[in-house]
Amino acid sequence: MPILEKETPKGRGDSKVLPKVPVPPLKQTLDLYLKCVQHLVKEEQFKRTKAIVEKFGAPGGAGEFLQKKLQERRDKTTNWVYDYWLEDMYLNNRLALPVNSSPVMVFPKQAFSDRKDAVRFAAHLITGVLEYKALIDARALPVDFARGQLAGTPLCMKQYYRLFTSYRLPGLKRDTLKVQMNAASLEPEHIIVACKNQFFVLDVVAKNKQLNEMEILSQLEKIVKMSENAEERLPPFGVLTSDGRTEWAQARDALTKDPTNRASLALIESCVCVLCLDEPSGLEPNDTNRALLMLHGGGREKNGANRWYDKPMQFVVGMDGVCGVVCEHSPFEGIVLVQCSEYLMKYITGSPSRLVRSSSITELPPPRRLLWKCNPHIQGLLAASADRLQRLVHNLDMDAYKFKVYGKEFIKKQKMSPDAYIQVALQLAFYRCTGRLVSTYESASIRRFEEGRVDNIRSATPEALAFVKSMTEGKAALTDSEKMKRLWDAINAQTNYTIAAITGMAIDNHLLGLREIAKELNMDKPEIFCDETYLASNQFILSTSQVPTTVEMFCCYGPVVPNGYGACYNPQADHILFCVSSFRESTETSSAVFAKALEEGLLEIRDLCNRSGAAASKLAGSGQGAGQPHKAGK
């Protein structure tokens, strides 16, 4: 049982019962699947796929039977896709968490005057974390409502309840997500502080009272001092958590043979969050470097081992002002991470630090260093993990790039959805770089439903292909108005797919459900799921996500396949932040080349819109105004 979740009665934040995620009609999903893949595979292959899909969907076929079983599952469970999705997306994945899975929030560079100042910031941050956690525990966070497309409906709040109560335990074949959903735990709470690769327990409750900021600061100062004691320094055990999941699970098995290690692991696994006090990296703190340092800590020589990647919330405070959050992704989505991070940034800038001398400070026992027992075998494992992390560090090619020419206000003025527009621009950039389109993932929130997480918007639509061709090889052959028509077709297709996805009508979760329920019923794997097209369609060479923020900060993550790109974007009124990532070991990708193609594409699309707008006004002025081609998707 890979997901251990202990529930509590519903609190204020989730008193309304949301609808269950629907199971889309089988034929609708199969038709859309064929439409999504036809232009991405060779004609011969598509013919085979079409025959396989038709057989699967035929009356009395496997599809019909599995669909019925899925509907029964929907009736019996709160969310029929939740466990299937969680295992498929995260828990079964054996890749290392840093870069491959864990997204990060990068805070603005902080101007600390000295190390003491950095530690004061950390104390303030942790006080904010505890305040936010108290709101969550009391189920007192205001309910989120959908914005953008189909705005206004309430959203499921359960992801918040996992922020500080989860732990991803490595497994030899599959990980386990342990979640303690009890609103108010009776256990005294603690955080884990990592400093110079040492781990310390900081109890945040003493004598039934939560520590105030001054007390937290005093404890953190003690930790910094303890970490400087070279004689007591222990090997960098955190590096093990940066390894592949199977490797880490094997190492963990080796560690747990010793009771000291078991006790240290138990304390880490039950903490509220991790605070990483990082050493200066020596790198110029530009956006790209700060993003890299959040994603992998800079490897062995820098802060790569000053982490514990299994813990969902790791706050990083660098002595050089490089700060942010590293998040283990399986318990919640980036949007929840943003909400939490924004609360904290507002807390830090808006509420004065409470480090006044008058504030009472209890004499507290010093924080405890976590002890580890090592042996030559474990020493070897530590070295191997550090080597693999080093390879990941060298491999990651990141470009955090601000497109400054325009932002979502310009796009809205064209009466287009900014998200759809940016997705079409990403397709254009990819086509420019490679001469083809590929299976693309865009996360779409399904939090309108009970326990909803995400489904996939397959942005490489046939309409997008027609448009990008008209902007590249077909450039000279088509008039502006023909190109504009194709742009509208692409935007409308993307917008309509978005609406389908956020209302539970996308295909990825549904196909996954059909595949997994067949497995559960011990059936032979239906041919549709062994087909080359299906396998290719799940290789997301372009993995994209909108993560907007209202406070200065940005999100980023790595690619999900060796020859792919990760493209996270943050649309603002007058600019768009992009974080493009890829792997240097792939000869097919380059983040800088992709970012440049994106810039060119965004400029060309703007010019096309402007020329068409000017032509339309001229026509309107002469009394022959052309109709607006946009089909409202909102």
When asked if residue 341 is in the footprint of ligand COA (CB under 6 A), the reply is no
Q: Which of 281, 288, 439, 545 binds ligand COA (CB under 6 A)?
A: 545
Q: Which of 127, 417, 456, 543 binds ligand COA (CB under 6 A)?
A: 417
Measured from the CB atom, the residue of 278 and 442 that comes closer to ligand COA is 442
Contact present, 77 and 23 (Cβ < 8 Å): no
3-state secondary structure of 321: coil
Nearest distance, CB of residue 377 and ligand COA, angstroms: 37
Nearest distance, CB of residue 201 and ligand COA, angstroms: 30
| Per-residue contact flags (x/-) with ligand COA for residues 119 to 148, judged by CB under 6 A | ----------------------------xx
| Per-residue contact flags (x/-) with ligand COA for residues 454 to 483, judged by CB under 6 A | x-----------------------------
Nearest distance, CB of residue 147 and ligand COA, angstroms: 4
Nearest distance, CB of residue 104 and ligand COA, angstroms: 11
Q: Token pair of 327, please?
A: 């998040």
When asked if residue 547 is in the footprint of ligand COA (CB under 6 A), the reply is yes
Minimal CB distance residue for ligand COA:
148
Q: Token pair of 111, please?
A: 């101007």
The interface region with ligand COA, picked from 81-89, 386-394, 409-417, 424-432 by CB under 6 A, is: 409-417
Q: Token pair of 51, please?
A: 């025959």
Q: Which of 98, 238, 324, 334 binds ligand COA (CB under 6 A)?
A: 334
Measured from the CB atom, the residue of 49 and 492 that comes closer to ligand COA is 492
Question: Which helix H or strand E contains 213, and what residues bound it?
Answer: helix 213-228
Tell me the angle at which helices 62-76 and 43-57 cross, rounded to the nearest 10 degrees: 60
What letter does residue 152 receive in the DSSP assignment? T
Measuring CA to CA, how many Å separate 271 from each of 238, 265, 315, 597? 15, 10, 13, 44
When asked if residue 163 is in the footprint of ligand COA (CB under 6 A), the reply is no
When asked if residue 546 is in the footprint of ligand COA (CB under 6 A), the reply is yes
Nearest distance, CB of residue 414 and ligand COA, angstroms: 8
Contact present, 528 and 466 (Cβ < 8 Å): no
Measured from the CB atom, the residue of 417 and 470 that comes closer to ligand COA is 417
Q: Which of 257, 415, 436, 525 binds ligand COA (CB under 6 A)?
A: 415
Instruction: In whole angstroms, give the CA distance from residue 149 to residue 448.
Output: 12
For residues 94, 97, 100 and 103, what is the CA-based torsion angle, rounded to 10 degrees?
A: 140
Nearest distance, CB of residue 335 and ligand COA, angstroms: 5
Angle at 240 between CA 382 and CA 335, to 5 degrees: 155
Instruction: In whole angstroms, give the CA distance from residue 483 to residue 226.
Output: 65
| Per-residue contact flags (x/-) with ligand COA for residues 422 to 461, judged by CB under 6 A | ---------------------xxx--------x-------
When asked if residue 212 is in the footprint of ligand COA (CB under 6 A), the reply is no
Measured from the CB atom, the residue of 207 and 634 that comes closer to ligand COA is 634
Contact present, 428 and 600 (Cβ < 8 Å): no
The interface region with ligand COA, picked from 10-18, 92-100, 163-171, 408-416 by CB under 6 A, is: 408-416
Q: Which of 287, 333, 451, 508 binds ligand COA (CB under 6 A)?
A: 333
Measured from the CB atom, the residue of 191 and 420 that comes closer to ligand COA is 420
Q: Which of 335, 382, 490, 580 binds ligand COA (CB under 6 A)?
A: 335
Question: Which helix H or strand E contains 192, and what residues bound it?
Answer: strand 190-195
Long-range contacts of 65-73, Cβ-Cβ distance < 8 Å, separation of 24 or more = 66/514, 66/517, 66/518, 66/526, 67/23, 67/26, 67/514, 69/517, 69/521, 70/23, 70/510, 70/513, 70/514, 70/517, 71/23, 73/513, 73/517
When asked if residue 149 is in the footprint of ligand COA (CB under 6 A), the reply is yes
Cα dihedral sign, 23-26-31-37? positive
* Residues 497 to 516 in contact with ligand COA, rule: CB under 6 A: 498, 502
Measured from the CB atom, the residue of 222 and 575 that comes closer to ligand COA is 575
Annotated catalytic residue: which of 39, 329, 575, 630?
Answer: 329
Measured from the CB atom, the residue of 149 and 289 that comes closer to ligand COA is 149
* Residues 16 to 55 in contact with ligand COA, rule: CB under 6 A: none
The interface region with ligand COA, picked from 87-95, 119-127, 331-339, 618-626 by CB under 6 A, is: 331-339
The interface region with ligand COA, picked from 27-35, 333-341, 522-530, 617-625 by CB under 6 A, is: 333-341
Measured from the CB atom, the residue of 124 and 311 that comes closer to ligand COA is 311
Instruction: In whole angstroms, give the CA distance from residue 493 to residue 629.
Output: 13
Q: Which of 299, 331, 418, 513 binds ligand COA (CB under 6 A)?
A: 418
The beta strands (E) that lie in 371-439 are given as 396-403
When asked if residue 581 is in the footprint of ligand COA (CB under 6 A), the reply is no
Nearest distance, CB of residue 95 and ligand COA, angstroms: 17
SS3 content of the chain, % helix, strand, coil (to 5): 45, 15, 40
Beta-ladder partners of 568: 545, 579
3-state secondary structure of 187: coil
The interface region with ligand COA, picked from 52-60, 278-286, 478-486, 539-547 by CB under 6 A, is: 539-547
Mapping DSSP onto H, E and C, the string for 441-508 reads EEEEECCCCCCCCEEEECCCCHHHHHHHHHHCCCCCCCCHHHHHHHHHHHHHHHHHHHHHHHCCCCCH
Nearest distance, CB of residue 408 and ligand COA, angstroms: 6
Contact present, 561 and 457 (Cβ < 8 Å): no
3-state secondary structure of 72: helix
Place of tokens 């009272």: 209
Nearest distance, CB of residue 105 and ligand COA, angstroms: 11
Measured from the CB atom, the residue of 16 and 412 that comes closer to ligand COA is 412
Measured from the CB atom, the residue of 211 and 547 that comes closer to ligand COA is 547
Nearest distance, CB of residue 548 and ligand COA, angstroms: 7
Residues 6+ apart with CB under 8 A from 7: 181
Closest CA to 206 of 198, 215, 217: 215
Order of strands across the sheet that contains 576-583 = 396-403, 576-583, 565-571, 542-546, 440-445, 454-457
Q: Token pair of 629, please?
A: 């081609």
Site size toward ligand COA (CB under 6 A) is 22
Please say if 329 is a catalytic residue. Answer: yes
Instruction: In whole angstroms, give the CA distance from residue 535 to residue 278.
Output: 41
Catalytic residues: 329
Chain contacts with ligand COA (rule: CB under 6 A): 147-149, 333-335, 412, 415-419, 443-445, 454, 498, 502, 545-547, 634
